[in-house]
Amino acid sequence: ETGVTQSPTHLIKTRGQQVTLRCSSQSGHNTVSWYQQALGQGPQFIFQYYREEENGRGNFPPRFSGLQFPNYSSELNVNALELDDSALYLCASGLATDTQYFGPGTRLTVL
Amino acid sequence: AQSVTQLGSHVSVSEGALVLLRCNYSSSVPPYLFWYVQYPNQGLQLLLKYTSAATLVKGINGFEAEFKKSETSFHLTKPSAHMSDAAEYFCAVSEKNDMRFGAGTRLTVKP
């Protein structure tokens, strides 16, 4: 158990819709990162939030956005869903560049 | 930019045999290196991490990894494989605020 939880576990959306995924970080962690893991691949870094500000971004378009809240929770929002957005979305929390602790993920299917 | 390469997408060993999973990294600064394990339909669990304190790092479940700067490698080993070790293993490197993962190695353990 890492203390990082994610909701929902599974989600099915249709192309063009918008989705919000939620993460509750471990208490005391000041960073939260989001990753996309396509089937059979390693996780790809989407972005990181540090003290509620975006603190780095991977190669993902602006329709991927996020929020971090003072209560250690965070959100990943994806607009205008595409079929290729189907993946496992992982949230990880930690302290700066130290170890990141991952949640169980949300499986998103876009039809 | 930092990156990791995992050699071998699939490794199969017999129960009780040595496990060796290979990882080479590329980084412009002394890196933080990690090994994570992922069981089916689950998030990532930290096995061990290297943060320059010692070149031989011991992790959970009997795994260890050796940092070799001259070879830019961080291979994961376990002296004796157990059936419960069957999973996907990811090597990762972190420089600043994002973590870059390899494509993963699927370990199969034969009885």
Digit-coded pLDDT (tens) for A19-38: 999 999 888 888 899 999 99
Q: What is the mean pLDDT of chain B?
A: 91
pLDDT of residue A99: 80
pLDDT of residue A8: 96
Evaluate whether B15 touches B101 at the Cβ level (below 8 Å). no
Task: Give the CA dihedral A47, A89, A11, A71, nearest 10 degrees.
Answer: -60
Query: Number of Cβ pairs closer than 8 Å across A and B?
Result: 62
Q: Per-residue pLDDT for B53 more than 90?
A: no
Averaged pLDDT, B5-15: 95
Q: What is the mean pLDDT of chain A?
A: 92
Q: Per-residue pLDDT for A1 more than 70?
A: no
Give the chain A residue whose CA is nearest to the CA of B34: A99
Of A4, A50, A99, the CB nearest to B49: A99
Averaged pLDDT, B4-15: 95
Residue of A85 and A55 predicted with greater confidence = A85
Query: Mutate which of A6, A37, A89 to disrupt the B interface (most B C-beta within 10 Å)?
Result: A37
Q: Per-residue pLDDT for B28 more than 80?
A: no
A43 to B101: CB separation less than 8 angstroms, yes or no? yes
- Partners of residue B95 in chain A, C-beta under 8 Å: 97
pLDDT of residue A65: 96
Strands, E assignment, B1-111: 3-7, 10-14, 19-26, 32-38, 44-50, 56-58, 64-68, 73-78, 87-94, 99-101, 105-110
Closest CA of chain B from A82, distance in Å: 22
Averaged pLDDT, A94-109: 86
pLDDT of residue A6: 95
Rounded Cα gap, residues B15 and B28, in angstroms? 38
A96, two tokens: 């700066």
B98 to A31: CB separation less than 8 angstroms, yes or no? no
pLDDT of residue A97: 61
Averaged pLDDT, B51-72: 91
pLDDT of residue A72: 79
Query: Mutate which of B98, B100, B105, B106 to disrupt the A interface (most A C-beta within 10 Å)?
Result: B98
Residue with tokens 């991952």: A102
Digit-coded pLDDT (tens) for B95-110: 766 788 999 999 999 9
